[in-house]
Structure 1
């Protein structure tokens, strides 16, 4: 007659899953019953139903001792595991069954050489994620399986004859395939009885640190929302924290990033000087993980006051970098990661130990993020930015990024008269909207005798007349404001003044039913046309850029406005293999690319029957310039020095320049204009023009002249030649 183990509610606090187990068989479990760390459970073979579990396991699994599952419906261990982890547990179980088959059916094979491999495999623990109602996140458990009380016997005809034969013959190939999981055992061919003992330890901290390390060292920037949220979740789970803060030291500033409730990043900036005496810089100077127990009693700087105001009370600070300067709190600080809690004295010495294990991975992640802030930089010059990012990641002082003695190549394909075309579109839309408004007022006046309505009618007529005569710069804003203030405020009333007025109001509202909340038909058509021109020009230029980069890697910045303009810098400081041949090849290829852009524009004109005309200009200069990256501006590069500034002035004004003789624009539709300063420059580009004429890019007639003096720039000349359409 079998007797049951006492329930967890009894004096020995055992958690019984099956009252049929005799306590005499499991006296050895008593010593582990009250363990807080060692997890022990006895399970049935095949279905892994729990027969017994100690208090630690019951707590982890969220099993209430007083509501323990009785013998008729014992809790299966597999219900706490994912599908993947169930498979891992079953594979280990099959190896144990295999081992017991040998021990009990063919014990002489225990001396075989391959048995050592099997013994190692069954002694290895597995790590599974156990889902528990006690915890918000799965707990990682390292389990060992003990099968000493497992009994295996063949059922006869249904047994796995292949395995039995292999065991009997000592067929190592088949046996090794079985023990490595390459051949599954047909366990239905055996009668398996007894019980299995699971011994486990909660290794959630260790496993979370492993996962964090793998996540942190991959190449995605930690400051991207997706990766930050994953890191944030794991760090909060590991340290039982509420949020994560990342501080990056950049020159004299500290860039601070905080997670938000919306899975986004919130950024703010503090000067390093304002952090003097802060807990952040104290941890950096000590170069060790530190705990701030309660900010409400020790809040030395505005930054920490901001955190306290947001509800954070305790901090776990992980400095990344080495503070070597005695006179500086920050020293060579790369950055710092802080765990935040809304409870005081949340963090423990064990948290400090776990945080220390993450320093290398966090440092790697922050260095990666520092380098990737230059990810948008043009590939030809990215190597220099990455060099500087690496220097700064080690805490070294910033150095300017300069490319000296580079040749500038500037060109532009500009929509001629785009401002006038857009003004005409604005004029058409405003007149249409005012006429719709006038129709409303006229309908109202027809339905009732209203003196104010007649005056409003006269105002609208006068406004329409002024719009038809000319359009001013501010008309797009002031005209709409006028309608809103003097007409639209009456719409609810006007809609009640007869069916004609109601219909007119509805027509006005429908015409303005768009994101601009005004009539935007002509402007929309203009915008679509300009966008189409820009898109096709960009695609054309990009195709040629791929060819040009193969000649010699160079920096190229391309901007879209009403047309497209490009700025190229090339030279030995960018490409060490650079030679005069590469320079001349790039200049010639630039001209061919601009001609192709012109042909693209001609195709657009024919396809869309548009009146938009494009002009094309290339600025020649044989004098090198120095370019420097200024982090305080949005531009990637600025020219350096007074001699370089002249080139920038010419760039900004040359497309509006006039012929000093005719006072016409030097740029003309469907023509390529080259602007130069010296006879040497002209001789070089004259040769290129002859090549382009020979290749049927250009017509043979070349016009020339002098450029009217620009402010601060004199002596420029130009040559102009018609671009031929593509020969069908």
Structure 2
């Protein structure tokens, strides 16, 4: 926006050199200047018109040499080559004297036509008028009000489109204000009100009338180039905007300011950023107007991360500025450099964006002209880098939130160990959607992982639950029959006798055992036949106490006897909670040994699976040593689990025991995420056999005995390879030396299961430990080393 001239400067301005001449006369007479300057007095006597108001600039031209000398008191001749200064009629853009640098760089015609000024409404005459009023207020009313805000002119070069920002300093020592009539008094309250409405020109001119004052003399304008400081300040302000680096228009505005800072109309701005997996991401092409971070090296999606060996990787790793002054002659070009050259970039400057010492992205500046950007150039943007970092961090956080929302929608909660892969897939899906593609979450699978399956099951939970239900129903029926008989003893109603008879039938049936549907039948009988009768006699005073006694035995929520079932459910829940919390704590500690995927399921007990393998991690190599470590860890875990349940037993309302089992699968398998069920399943026909065995192994019987493999106080290990049995025997030897298990190891063969045959098992009895079971990383490492040394 150019300077507005819709309002004229209202005060009369008159050019006069009188004060300047009087300055010289006084300086010569007082000896402030050397004696040879006395000849100046003669020259001034011969030019009396210079002391008069000057209406015609021809007077100045007539005495140009003398005027030039007089102006040396205002502007030093030594500063002519670099100082942008000019002398003008008071508050007018009419110059009669200027430095060579000013004439070479600026003109008041250019300022009037091309400049924008930091004044409300961009109207320079408003600024002039208020400034004049403040000077009048100071001189004639003794009110000294200073506006600290500097005056800034922004001038755009019409050829290059680049902006220059100048701070304007004004000198007024050779200007005076003439009051044509005695100034009218202004109430102090009015003065205060005026200062609150400082840019309300019409209000000010009601109290300070232009016809009452004139400005005589001249003003000095000094223009100081503050382009770099002001543009950097503006960039910092721009970067506070939410979409500063993603919206095309905002990004272009920041780029334009950087061009002005560097004085390079062809400079290009870009941003590369790093994803959550610490991989460099060079944004690839999408919709032209899509809101996204844009890199100068953007390329195809497939090649977006091929940064290895590039200057980007160097700058990222070394955390320092890197400048390549000519990419075409750069001897170590990678695909990224080749892409830059293909995009018209010959000269590039990279500045890493750091947060807490870690590189989160890269500021890119580039030019098509070799050599324009150099190491010294980096200093010009150094102060803005923290704001670019903050803006990029905001974009990354918003993107991460969007990606996590996609993952939540597609996958629900994800285990931290494999979260990196889901974030990677979610980011790819987000990019595709932003390009307008119809995309779904890519396949997520992990190959060559070793499973470790374990089960801590509540012994005979189904039988215990059925027994509890049976006892509750029997008590409820007996209480109901007894109550109805007492009511019938006084009422003698046929309906009561009929319901009493039905109650007896239900009692006899339930006493013999629970069959399928018995529970729902009895509950339905209590709800629709017993309860309405009891409610009917609720207000009968003869039976009020008996009914209250009956209701006292009923659960307030379910309306039936729920004592033993509740005790069973609470005991089961407490066992499951104890085991679950113990597993969570133990596996979190075990993540330090080697990152692994962990999942658990809760039924009448807890079953859990760990998956181990290199594919589950980004940068760790899996070794068979870790598999042995985790197998020993699993045995220690079960010893500790048994101990915790033994300690829990006094708190259980129903006496329940747990059985524990391990299924060993000696071959690696593949797991694949199934979006429809939002969980991992094994992948491949052979591996599915492992899943079938998992589902059925807890019901396994010892061959030719009819005895269940799983027993309270024991750990059973199921396998089908002799070498696995030998490995576990070594672990058992070690656990026995630590008094965690008893010495005897049972070697068992199992009855065939549907889909699985030839299974073998080892079974050991857990001893009461005399020392804590070590499940921490250091303890486990010592345990595995000790176990190996024994053999």
Determine if contact 1:697/1:723 at 8 Å carries over to the other structure: yes
* C-alpha distance 359-381 of structure 1, shift in aligned 2 (>3 A): closer
The alpha carbon displacement at 1:692 in A equals 1.4
Contact residue 713 and residue 765 of structure 2 kept, 8 A:
yes
The alignment status of 1:659 with 2:702, answered yes or no, reads yes
In structure 1, the partner of 2:53 is none
Q: Are 1:564 and 2:606 an aligned pair?
A: yes
Asked whether the 8 Å contact 2:571–2:653 carries over to 1, the reply is no
2:523 to 480, 485, 489: 480
**SS of match in other structure, 1:458:** helix
* Equivalence map 1:585-596=2 (5 Å): 585-596=629-640
Matching of residues 160-171 of structure 1 within 5 Å: none
1:417 shift after superposition: 0.7
In 1, are the aligned partners of 2:555 and 2:562 still within 8 Å (CA)?
no
Please, which moves more after superposition, 674-683 or 396-405?
396-405
Structure 2, unaligned runs of 5 or more:
1-9, 11-129, 154-184, 201-237, 247-285, 294-393, 772-791
Unaligned stretches of 5+ residues in structure 1? 1-26, 28-95, 124-148, 154-190, 201-208, 218-284, 289-318, 323-357
Report the counterpart of residue 382 of structure 1 in structure 2: 419
Give the alignment partner of residue 467 of structure 1, picking from 506, 510, 515. 510
1:151–1:193 Cα contact (<8 Å) kept: no
1:691 lines up with 2:691 in the alignment: no
Q: Could you tell me which of 496, 499, 504 is aligned with 2:546?
A: 504
Q: Distance in 2 between matches of 1:364 and 1:688?
A: 45
Q: How many residues align?
A: 423
The structure 1 residue matched to 2:681, chosen from 638, 660, 676, is: 638
Is 2:405 the partner of 1:369?
yes
Listed as ranges, the matches of 1:49-448 within 5 Å are 104=138, 118-120=148-150, 194=194, 196-197=196-197, 213=242, 366-373=402-409, 374=411, 376-395=413-432, 397-398=439-440, 399-448=442-491
Counterpart Cα distance in 2 of 1:364 and 1:526:
45
Structure 1 residue 660 displacement after superposition:
0.3
Mapped to 2, the partners of 1:698 and 1:151 lie a distance apart of: 100
Give the counterpart of 1:518 among 535, 541, 560.
Answer: 560
1:538 paired with 2:575, answer: no
- Residue deviations 1:248-307, cap 9 Å, x none? xxxxxxxxxxxxxxxxxxxxxxxxxxxxxxxxxxxxx9998xxxxxxxxxxxxxxxxxxx
- Per-residue deviation, 1:363: 7.7
Q: Check conservation: 1:554, 1:571, Cα contact below 8 A.
A: yes
| Cα offset, 1:593, TM superposition | 0.8
Q: Paired residue for 2:765, among 716, 722, 725?
A: 722
Whether the 8 Å contact between 2:568 and 2:654 is mirrored in structure 1 is: no
Flag the 1:463–1:375 CA change in 2: closer, same or farther, 3 A.
closer
**Cα distance, 1:193–1:673 mapped onto 2, change above 3 Å:** same
Q: 2:623 aligns with which of 576, 579, 590?
A: 579
Q: For the structure 1 residues 485 and 607, does the alpha-carbon distance in structure 2 shift closer, same or farther, using more than 3 Å as the test? A: closer
Does 1:597 find its partner at 2:627?
no
- DSSP-derived class of the 1:588 partner: helix
Alignment correspondent of 1:453: 496
Q: Structure 1 stretch 670-679 or stretch 600-609: which is displaced more? A: 600-609
| Residue 668 (structure 2) aligns with | 624
Does the Cα contact within 8 Å between 2:674 and 2:681 map onto a contact in 1?
yes
**Alpha-carbon distance, 1:509 to partner:** 4.1
Cα distance, 1:386–1:551 mapped onto 2, change above 3 Å: same
Shift in Å, 1:638: 0.7
Secondary structure of 2:607's partner?
strand
What secondary structure does 1:551 align onto? Answer: coil
Partner of 2:160: none
Task: State the match for 2:87 in structure 1.
Answer: none
Q: Cα 1:679–1:499, aligned 2, differ >3 Å: closer, same or farther?
A: same
Q: Is the 8 A contact 1:402 1:628 kept in 2?
A: yes
**Residues 693 and 755, structure 2, Cα contact 8 Å, conserved in 1:** no
SS of the residue corresponding to residue 556 of structure 1 reads strand
Residue 529 (str. 1) matches residue 559 (str. 2): no
How far off is 1:366 after superposition? 4.0
Q: In the superposition, relative to structure 1, how do residues 387 and 509 fare at CA in structure 2: closer, same or farther (>3 Å)?
A: same
Cα separation, 1, equivalents of 2:151 and 2:572: 69
Question: Could you tell me how far apart the structure 2 residues matched to 1:198 and 1:472 are?
Answer: 93
CA distance in 2: counterparts of 1:676 and 1:364, whole angstroms: 43
2:511 and 2:482 map into 1 onto residues whose CA distance is 17
| 1:662-694 deviation digits (Å, cap 9, x = unpaired) | 220111110011011011111111111112112
User: What displacement does 1:659 show?
Assistant: 0.1
CA distance in 1, matches of 2:407, 2:741: 46
Encode CA deviations 1:495-539: one digit per residue, 9 max, x unaligned: 355522x33334444544533232212111111111111111112
Measured at CA, do residues 547 and 710 of structure 1 come closer, stay the same or move farther in structure 2, by a change above 3 Å?
same
* Structure number, greater radius of gyration: 2
Q: CA deviation at 1:551?
A: 0.9
Look up the SS of the partner of 1:540 in the other structure.
helix
**CA separation in 1, counterparts of 2:598 and 2:497?**
61
Q: Secondary structure at the match of 1:542?
A: helix
Partner of 1:355: none
Instruction: Report deviation, 1:199.
Output: 7.1
Report if aligned partners of 1:558, 1:567 keep a CA contact under 8 Å in 2. yes
Instruction: Decide which of 715, 719, 722 is 1:679's aligned counterpart.
Output: 722
Q: Is the 8 A contact 1:557 1:568 kept in 2?
A: yes
Q: 1:152 to 1:721 in 2, by over 3 A?
A: farther
Q: Deviations 1:172-212 (Å, cap 9, x if unpaired)? A: xxxxxxxxxxxxxxxxxxx9565521779xxxxxxxx9999
Q: CA deviation at 1:654?
A: 0.6
Question: Structure 2 CA distance, aligned partners of 1:639 and 1:648?
Answer: 7
In structure 1, C-alpha distance between the alignment counterparts of 2:517 and 2:186, rounded to whole Å: 90
Judged with a 3 Å threshold, the aligned counterparts in structure 2 of structure 1 residues 150 and 587 are, in CA distance, closer, same or farther, namely farther
Deviation at 1:151, TM superposition (A): 8.9
What residue in structure 2 maps to residue 68 of structure 1? Answer: none
1:386 deviates by 0.9
Assess, with a 3 A threshold, how the Cα gap between structure 1 residues 121 and 653 changes in structure 2: closer, same or farther.
farther
Please tell me whether residue 555 in structure 1 is matched to residue 597 in structure 2. Answer: yes
Find the counterpart in structure 1 of residue 75 from structure 2.
Answer: none
Shift of 1:549: 0.8
